[in-house]
């Protein structure tokens, strides 16, 4: 069942049924000010850091669901309703929500009154704009009341939801005309406030939640809305809110519009006040004046649309498959940008107060956006690298506001350092910016021990070699990519962290997955060294990689597939010798991507085993058979009921590894079949089963052992976005940035006859046509550049503005 449809021309998803299986959200903002917005106008805003600078409140796990947000109330005689249906949930006569790139429009109508809410965050300003247009479609005059409502968060989202003995006394506001200033804690150490304004004169307002809602009121029937006016309340402590009220008299066919804005404003410390307790509103007024007319609002929105069109024009594909086109050209790329901005911090499933930026997460996210914003990718790489420890290990997470490694969780996740090589390698292939390797970067944010980025990569590489176990395979530490495979934890007590409890630096437990990574990214590291003329070191690195490859084939091979690990007692994990969890997806994907066993036959066997034992109609489960009881030696993985999350769920993130692996083997039909299974655009028709947004990937789909097989969870913030984008564009469609140019090496279904791609690469627009007259799955026979045949292989980077490339398979 569908709840809407794609509008590819406008790059929107249009939701036509407000009762979506879960809130379907969008992200507004791309620089510093962000808003999460659901299809019923739920959500919240924050500045840079969803934990430390939360601007509005959001109650996670609330009942009824998704009640906090940016709601507009209409009072029409006795009927109270919202254009986005929530929170009154008054039945609407018509409804549409258009989620576009960085903006959303929600339109609802009831009894011949139509209300449209247009929301976006303009480029380069810290403000959420919302224009509300009310149209009387009746033949007669109508009298109505319109209310806006938001609830301020007292900045630190964690403190805001826990420290009530203090917070109920700190709230402060100021009101000037239609501008409501939220200034809690500004009197002391903060130099920032928020302002919620309207560009028209209000008839009344409220800033006290008790007054607007009623102490025992509810968002479904606020006291003020029932009364038809606000109380002009000034909040002192308790819960400061912002509500505007307009009384409307609309003739037949007449419209009324008003622009609201919610801004975050910083003031220099020495200019905080104009009089005792009167805040300096000048910067706020300036910001407001940039967006207080329809013309300025429209300009801001158009700028935003051109920004996105321009960004996405750097990679455009035209195939005969609409779903593929819309994923590459619009939604998958968009999701990559959102993961760039949010990492795993703020979504409808990540509360914004938990994790900051993950080391491995951010490195992998970069694979998906480096081509769109190479300068910001560069900055991100340097930020991440600066949190690396001197021994080459990594803090598992860092806080986006401070950019410092998070010492609560610390390090010891032994795959982390290798992801740094992966992302720097991708960055250099994309940009050719070898100079980045010379940049001096701190270790552990300590400038005294800064060294070049190349030295950071060296320490990443050596970190694996310095931490080998009994089989000369990498020690796993607290966990590798699979955060829940905790071989050194042995946690017996509820509440303990599975990741950081126990003798986490165990000297025995080894990971075949990290071994595969080491081979894959170790080769990339050696290429980099070679390019720099460091031939001896390159040769030594290749030797280390070859040794690892041997170790994997000797002790990391289980007969029909790659083993997952050795536990702390040296026993096999992910082996036919086990009663449960006999085979895992990660080492199959990673080892084959790394090229291990491709020549000697193990790779093919491993992929056959994936097909036989792990594949389902909704994708590949992480392991099989699922663990049915808790295992002390394996940790969190066995804490999940069978079929969920890391215990045999379909973890969308590593499905594309297997797709990549299939392209390594030249299996275009198979690669595309697998790609489709987890791709949201292909799941739109079963939205009632899949439940999460059909325009973005979710982290996990319940596996075949789960009662809710096929149900998605944790949408938006997942490394799946980057990996699926990369596998489709590079593995399948075959456009692979290389050190000195583009390599185009498709691996496609035999039935594909032709497709075209526009790809911006190092300033040149490549117009690529791939034709496949013989119906092959892989293998380029001929390359023409601007009409002239050139040797097979990398097409050297060009200095021209545009280049035509024809690829004949």
Among 339, 482, 578, 687, binds ligand GLC (CB under 6 A): 482
Name the token pair of 481.
């990519």
**Binding letters toward ligand GLC, positions 430-469, x by CB under 6 A:** ----------------------------------------
What's the min distance (Å) between Cβ of 776 and ligand GLC?
Answer: 35
Stretch that binds ligand GLC, among 18-26, 40-48, 150-158, 476-484 (CB under 6 A): 476-484
Q: How many angstroms separate the CA atoms of 105 and 97, rounded? A: 6
| Cβ proximity to ligand GLC, 97 vs 591, nearer residue | 591
Task: Return d(Cα 547, Cα 74) in angstroms, integer.
Answer: 70
Task: Find the shortest distance in angstroms from Cβ 369 to ligand GLC.
Answer: 17
Q: How far apart are CA 176 and CA 241, in angstroms?
A: 15
Strand partners, 95: 108
Q: How far is the CB of 671 from ligand GLC (least distance, A)?
A: 23
699 contacts ligand GLC (rule: CB under 6 A)? yes
Q: How far is the CB of 471 from ligand GLC (least distance, A)?
A: 23
**564 touching ligand GLC, by CB under 6 A:** no
Of the candidates 669, 719, 674, 673, the one whose C-alpha atom is nearest the C-alpha of residue 696 is 719
Spell out the residues 6+ positions from residue 673 whose beta carbon is closer than 8 angstroms to its own. none
Contact 473, 556 (CB under 8 A): yes
Give dist(CA 144, CA 135) in Å, integer: 11
Q: Which CB sits closer to ligand GLC, 444 or 636? A: 636
Q: How far is the CB of 86 from ligand GLC (least distance, A)?
A: 29
A 10 A CB-CB count for 486 gives 30
For residue 483, indicate whether it is catalytic.
yes
In the complex with ligand GLC, the residue whose CB is nearer, 148 or 345, is 345
CA nearest neighbour of 391 among 462, 472, 473, 445? 462
Among 244, 178, 180, 235, smallest CA distance to 210 is for 235
Q: Are 225 and 153 in contact (CB under 8 A)?
A: no
Which long-range contacts does 677-681 make (Cβ < 8 Å, 24+ apart)?
Answer: 677/617, 677/618, 677/619, 677/620, 678/618, 678/619, 678/650, 678/652, 678/720, 678/724, 679/323, 679/327, 679/724, 680/327, 680/331, 681/6, 681/323, 681/326, 681/327, 681/331
Taking CB under 6 A as the rule, which mask of x and - marks residues 350-389 in contact with ligand GLC? --------x-xx----------------------------
340 contacts ligand GLC (rule: CB under 6 A): no
- The site map against ligand GLC for 200-239 (x = CB under 6 A) is ----------------------------------------
Distance CA 60, CA 50 (A): 13
Q: In whole angstroms, how close is the CB of 364 to ligand GLC at the nearest point?
A: 8
Cβ proximity to ligand GLC, 337 vs 489, nearer residue = 489
Binds ligand GLC (CB under 6 A): choice among 116, 182, 183, 344: 344
The interface mask with ligand GLC, positions 700-729, x = CB under 6 A, is: ------------------x-----------
Give yes or no for residue 483 binding ligand GLC (CB under 6 A).
Answer: yes
Collect all residues with Cβ–Cβ distance below 8 Å to 555 and sequence separation of at least 6: 471, 472, 473, 563
Beta strand 764-771 pairing with 802-808:
parallel
The rounded distance, in Å, linking the Cα atoms of 286 and 148 is 22
Please report which helix (H) or strand (E) contains residue 129, including its range: strand 127-136
Residue 478 beta carbon to ligand GLC: minimum distance, rounded to whole angstroms: 10
Number of helical H runs and strand E runs in the chain: 20, 44
- The Cα–Cα gap between 26 and 14 comes to 12
Residue that has been written with the tokens 């969780």 in this structure: 409
Q: For ligand GLC, give the closer residue by CB, 567 or 636.
A: 636
Q: How far is the CB of 606 from ligand GLC (least distance, A)?
A: 20
Rounded to the nearest 5 percent, the helix, strand and coil shares of the chain are 30, 30, 40
Shortest distance in whole angstroms from residue 686 CB to ligand GLC: 23
Q: Which residue is nearest to ligand GLC (CB)?
A: 483
Count, residues near ligand GLC per rule CB under 6 A: 13
Nearest to 117 by CA among 97, 147, 101: 97
- CB of residue 338 to ligand GLC, shortest distance in Å: 14
Q: By C-beta, is 66 or 361 nearer to ligand GLC?
A: 361
Candidate segments 50-58, 428-436, 480-488, 794-802, binder of ligand GLC by CB under 6 A: 480-488
CB of 806 to ligand GLC, least distance (A): 40
Q: Which is nearer to ligand GLC, 186 or 521 (CB)?
A: 521
Burial class (CB in 10 A: 0-12, 13-18, 19+), 306: exposed
132 or 658: CB nearest ligand GLC: 658
Indicate the DSSP class of residue 625. S
With CB under 6 A as the contact rule, the residue among 95, 212, 260, 481 that binds ligand GLC is 481
Are 586 and 610 in contact, with CB atoms under 8 Å apart? no
Closer residue to ligand GLC in complex, CB, 105/362: 362
Q: Which is nearer to ligand GLC, 174 or 361 (CB)?
A: 361
- Range 733-752, binding ligand GLC (CB under 6 A): none
Name 603's bridge partners.
Answer: none
**Cα–Cα dist 516/221, whole Å:** 58
Identified catalytic residue from 361, 416, 425, 483 = 483
Q: 105 or 339, CB closer to ligand GLC?
A: 339
Dihedral sign (CA 332, 338, 343, 348): negative
Residues 607-666 that bind ligand GLC (CB under 6 A): 636, 645-646
Q: Does 484 bind ligand GLC (CB under 6 A)?
A: yes
- Residue 628 CA to residue 639 CA, distance in Å, equals 9
Piece of 61-69, 383-391, 482-490, 610-618 that binds ligand GLC (CB under 6 A): 482-490
CB of 234 to ligand GLC, least distance (A): 43
Going by their DSSP bridges, the two strands 278-279 and 71-76 should be labelled as: unpaired
Q: How far is the CB of 484 from ligand GLC (least distance, A)?
A: 5
Nearer to ligand GLC, 358 or 587 (CB): 358
Binding to ligand GLC, residues 535-554 (CB under 6 A): none
**Burial of 14 (C-beta count, 10 Å sphere; 0-12/13-18/19+):** middle
Q: Is 491 an interacting residue with respect to ligand GLC (CB under 6 A)?
A: no
> Of the two residues 125 and 636, which places its CB atom closer to ligand GLC in the complex?
636
CA distance 795 to 781: 14
Report phi then psi at 562, rounded to 5. Answer: -80, 135
Q: Which residues bind ligand GLC (CB under 6 A)?
A: 344, 358, 360-361, 481-484, 636, 645-646, 699, 718
Catalytic residues: 483
């Amino acid at each position: 069942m569908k709840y809407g449809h794609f509008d590819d021309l406008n790059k929107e998803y249009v939701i036509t049924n407000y009762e979506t299986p879960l809130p379907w959200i969008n992200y507004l903002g791309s620089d510093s000010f962000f808003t999460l917005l659901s299809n019923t106008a739920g959500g919240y805003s924050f500045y840079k850091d969803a934990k430390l600078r939360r601007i509005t409140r959001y109650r996670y796990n609330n009942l009824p669901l998704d009640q906090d947000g940016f709601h507009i109330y209409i009072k029409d005689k006795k009927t109270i309703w919202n254009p986005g249906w929530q929170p009154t949930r008054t039945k609407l006569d018509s409804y549409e929500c258009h989620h576009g790139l960085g903006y959303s429009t929600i339109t609802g109508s009831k009894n011949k009154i139509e209300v449209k809410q247009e929301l976006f965050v303009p480029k380069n300003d810290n403000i959420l704009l919302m224009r509300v247009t009310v149209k009387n479609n009746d033949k007669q005059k109508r009298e109505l009341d319109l209310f806006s409502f938001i609830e301020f968060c007292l900045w630190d989202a964690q403190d805001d939801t826990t420290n009530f003995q203090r917070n109920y006394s700190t709230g402060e506001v100021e009101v000037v005309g239609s501008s409501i200033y939220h200034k809690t804690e500004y009197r002391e150490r903060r130099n920032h406030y928020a302002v919620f304004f309207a560009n028209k004169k209000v008839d009344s307002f409220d800033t006290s939640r008790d007054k607007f809602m009623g102490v025992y009121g509810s968002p479904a029937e606020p006291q003020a809305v029932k009364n038809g006016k606000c109380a002009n309340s000034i909040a002192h402590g308790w819960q400061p809110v912002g509500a505007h009220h307009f009384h409307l008299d609309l003739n037949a066919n007449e419209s009324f519009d008003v622009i609201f804005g919610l801004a975050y404003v910083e003031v220099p410390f020495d200019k905080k006040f104009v009089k005792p307790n009167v805040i300096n509103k000048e910067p706020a007024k300036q910001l407001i004046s940039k967006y207080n007319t329809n013309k300025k609002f429209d300009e801001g929105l158009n700028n935003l649309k051109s920004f996105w069109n321009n960004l996405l024009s750097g990679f455009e594909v035209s195939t005969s498959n609409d779903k593929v086109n819309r994923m590459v050209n619009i939604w998958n790329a968009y999701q990559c940008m959102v993961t760039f901005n949010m990492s795993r911090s703020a979504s409808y499933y990540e509360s914004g107060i938990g994790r900051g930026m993950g080391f491995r997460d951010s490195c992998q996210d970069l694979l998906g956006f480096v081509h769109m914003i190479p300068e910001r990718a560069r900055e991100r790489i340097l930020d991440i690298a600066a949190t690396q420890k001197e021994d080459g290990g990594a803090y598992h997470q860092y806080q986006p506001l401070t950019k410092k490694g998070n010492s609560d969780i610390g390090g010891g996740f032994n795959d982390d350092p290798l992801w740094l090589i992966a992302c720097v390698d991708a960055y250099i292939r994309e940009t050719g910016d070898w100079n980045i390797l010379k940049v001096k970067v701190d270790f552990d944010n300590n400038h005294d021990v800064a060294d070049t980025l190349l030295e950071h990569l060296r320490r990443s590489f050596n970190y694996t070699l310095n931490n080998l176990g009994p089989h000369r395979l990498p020690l796993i530490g607290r966990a590798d990519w699979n955060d829940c495979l905790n071989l050194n934890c042995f946690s017996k007590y509820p509440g303990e962290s599975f990741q950081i409890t126990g003798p986490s630096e165990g000297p025995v437990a080894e990971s075949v997955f990290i071994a595969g990574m080491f081979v894959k990214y170790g080769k990339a590291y050696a290429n980099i060294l070679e390019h720099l003329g460091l031939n001896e070191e390159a040769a030594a690195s290749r030797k280390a990689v070859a040794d690892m490859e041997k170790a994997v084939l000797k002790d990391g091979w289980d007969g029909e597939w790659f083993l997952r690990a050795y536990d702390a007692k040296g026993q096999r994990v992910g082996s036919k010798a086990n009663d449960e969890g006999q085979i895992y997806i990660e080492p199959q994907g990673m080892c084959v991507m790394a090229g291990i066993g491709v020549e000697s036959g193990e790779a093919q066997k491993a992929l056959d085993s994936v097909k036989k034992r792990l594949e389902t109609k909704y994708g590949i489960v992480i392991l099989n058979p699922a663990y049915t009881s808790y295992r002390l030696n394996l940790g969190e993985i066995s804490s999940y009921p069978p079929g969920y999350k890391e215990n045999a769920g379909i973890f969308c993130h590593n499905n594309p590894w297997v797709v990549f692996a299939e392209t390594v083997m030249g299996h275009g039909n198979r690669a595309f079949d697998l790609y489709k299974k987890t791709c949201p655009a292909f799941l739109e028709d079963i939205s009632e089963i899949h439940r999460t947004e059909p325009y973005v990937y979710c982290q996990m789909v319940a596996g075949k052992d789960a009662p809710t097989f096929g149900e998605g969870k944790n949408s938006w913030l997942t490394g799946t976005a980057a990996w699926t984008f990369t596998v489709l564009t590079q593995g399948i469609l075959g456009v692979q940035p290389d050190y000195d140019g583009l390599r185009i090496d498709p691996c496609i279904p035999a039935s594909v006859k032709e497709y075209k791609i526009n790809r911006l690469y190092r300033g040149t627009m490549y117009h690529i046509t791939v034709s496949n007259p013989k119906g092959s799955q892989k293998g380029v026979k001929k390359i023409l550049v601007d009409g002239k045949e050139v040797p097979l292989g990398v097409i050297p980077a060009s200095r021209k503005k545009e280049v035509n490339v024809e690829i004949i398979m």
